[in-house]
Amino acid sequence: MSEQYIVSPTSRIFGKINVPGDKSISHRSLILLSISQGTSKISGLLESDDCISTLNICQLLGVDIIKQSNGDYIVKGQGLFGLKEPKRNLDCGNSGTSMRLLAGLLCGQKFSSCLIGDESLTKRPMERILIPLQLMGGKMHLSKNNTAPINIDAAQKISPIVYQMPIDSAQIKSSIILASLYAKKTTKVIENNATRDHTENMINFLGGNIETENKIITINPCEKLISKDINIPGDISSAMFIIVGCLISEKSEVTICNVGLNKFRTGALEILKMMGAKIEIKNVNNIGPEITGDIFVYSSKLKGISIPSKYVASAIDEFPIIFIAAANASGKTILKNAEELKYKESNRLEVMSKGLKKCGIANDLYDDGIEITGGNFEGGLVDSCGDHRVAMSFAIAGIVSKKDIHILNTDNVSTSFPAFYNLVKKMGLNIKRVKS
């Protein structure tokens, strides 16, 4: 039985809300506190399927992680060298972040392990981490298609490298950083376009020593990380569905409090502002490893733009919902240089293009992007292909559709935003959930 959404036209959405914790920061807090020394507390952990996969794996590696009655998690760190050999395969479910980051961590351990994933994750490219990790001396093997399962042998020695990134990817960068915690000398990673730096920020917060200058990340050897309590801000990638929902509906006004505003995650805000979105940021707070703030959003008349390539890396997860904004804008929106979208939880260029066409929105697919002509959503049947962000994007499109939008395969919304359905319903979205 799989879940579906049916969304009917909605007059307005409103409210002052919080979105659940940031997915990227939740993964990193579980992984890094597991290898820190001492006991610490995580507040605001995202309890989504993806982060629970990481949590379960840390527990299988011998880390005590206990949920408290107030929702906080206590992590009893085992230190850099205290993880235990797991008794079974480590299941990452749908989570590419779990698989790629943990592969880096595990290739530095003195025991063997095997990372597995669901059908969708098992199709996603893993050679991108195999190459640098093998250069560092990691002993790992992929399937013949260069995909999971990832079998990792006990490490002999992890050597430092200087690695020029062939792709803009925080997952590859973080995988290398986690492995380099087991090297005795400095590793350098050189980026073409800077990607989210949550791993670097959190390692420094816990006493490590990573310096970044001109897109060169220098990971200096560190003897230990020291546990510290971590407060996880709201996820800007989840907030973006609510932001676009408010922008495209009439007479709407929404405030989203305490959202993570890391500068490598806010590309979508810049893109939407270029399109004419009325968005204000207030109450910026710079305490702890990440910047946070409140986002105020108002209904806006959007116009199509040519999206500057410099924003692709910092808006990488937000393109499905940006495409919905583009479909509601006057004129054409053009995206190029975004080939990476083909390798996400689905081929997001193709799946979004098909879904938009089914709803009556004209678009042309490029090999590395898409051109969308703003128009009217007529309604229709859309297959999300099990991609959480595609499912939520078309749910938001339902606000302005003439007839219902019926979205298939929405179960995976729980991988990143399990509260989505209840939250948007409370904010006024005309949404129903059915099983069939």
**C-alpha to C-alpha distance for 329 and 24, rounded to whole angstroms:** 30
Min dist CB 251 to ligand S3P, Å, is 33
Min dist CB 346 to ligand S3P, Å, is 12
Smaller CB separation from ligand S3P, 68 or 192? 192
Closest CA to 205 of 85, 354, 32, 355: 32
Site string for ligand S3P, 183-202 (x = CB under 6 A): ------------xx------
What amino acid is encoded at 92 in this protein?
A: C
Two tokens at 16?
A: 């002052």
Two tokens at 243?
A: 């932001």
By CB under 6 A, the count of residues binding ligand S3P is 11
Interface pick for ligand S3P out of 3, 191, 270, 317 (rule CB under 6 A):
317
Smaller CB separation from ligand S3P, 31 or 427? 31
Catalytic residue flag (residue 317): yes
Site for ligand S3P in 340-369 (CB under 6 A): 340
**C-alpha to C-alpha distance for 279 and 263, rounded to whole angstroms:** 16
Site string for ligand S3P, 141-180 (x = CB under 6 A): ----------------------------xxx--x------
Min dist CB 199 to ligand S3P, Å, is 8
Site for ligand S3P in 372-401 (CB under 6 A): none
Smaller CB separation from ligand S3P, 121 or 329? 121
Interface pick for ligand S3P out of 155, 316, 399, 424 (rule CB under 6 A):
316
Which member of 317, 368, 404, 411 is catalytic?
Answer: 317
**C-alpha to C-alpha distance for 434 and 7, rounded to whole angstroms:** 11
Interface pick for ligand S3P out of 4, 36, 97, 346 (rule CB under 6 A):
97
Q: Does 415 bind ligand S3P (CB under 6 A)?
A: no
Neighbours of 361 (CB within 10 A): 24
Which residue sits closest to ligand S3P, CB atoms considered? 24
Long-range contacts of 127-131 (CB under 8 A, 24+ apart): 128/100, 128/166, 128/167, 128/169, 128/172, 129/100, 129/103, 129/104, 129/171, 129/172, 129/175
Adjacency order of strands within the sheet including 253-260: 14-18, 253-260, 292-298, 278-285
Q: Where are the alpha helices (DSSP H) in 184-231?
A: 198-205
Interface pick for ligand S3P out of 4, 10, 24, 175 (rule CB under 6 A):
24
Smaller CB separation from ligand S3P, 46 or 329? 46
Min dist CB 157 to ligand S3P, Å, is 26
Structural contact between residues 100 and 171, judged by C-beta atoms closer than 8 angstroms: yes
Site string for ligand S3P, 243-282 (x = CB under 6 A): ----------------------------------------
Min dist CB 144 to ligand S3P, Å, is 22
Q: Which whole-number Å values give the CA distances from 148 to 67, 165, 194, 344, 399, in the listed order?
A: 30, 21, 27, 15, 38
Q: Which whole-number Å values give the CA distances from 236 to 25, 242, 314, in the listed order?
A: 11, 10, 11
**C-alpha to C-alpha distance for 392 and 431, rounded to whole angstroms:** 11
Residue labelled with tokens 């559709």: 401
Min dist CB 175 to ligand S3P, Å, is 9
Q: Does 410 bind ligand S3P (CB under 6 A)?
A: no
Min dist CB 138 to ligand S3P, Å, is 18
User: Cβ neighbours of residue 206 under 8 Å, at least 6 residues apart?
Assistant: 32, 33, 36, 225, 226, 227, 228
Residues with catalytic annotation?
317
Q: Which residues bind ligand S3P (CB under 6 A)?
A: 24, 97, 169-171, 174, 195-196, 316-317, 340
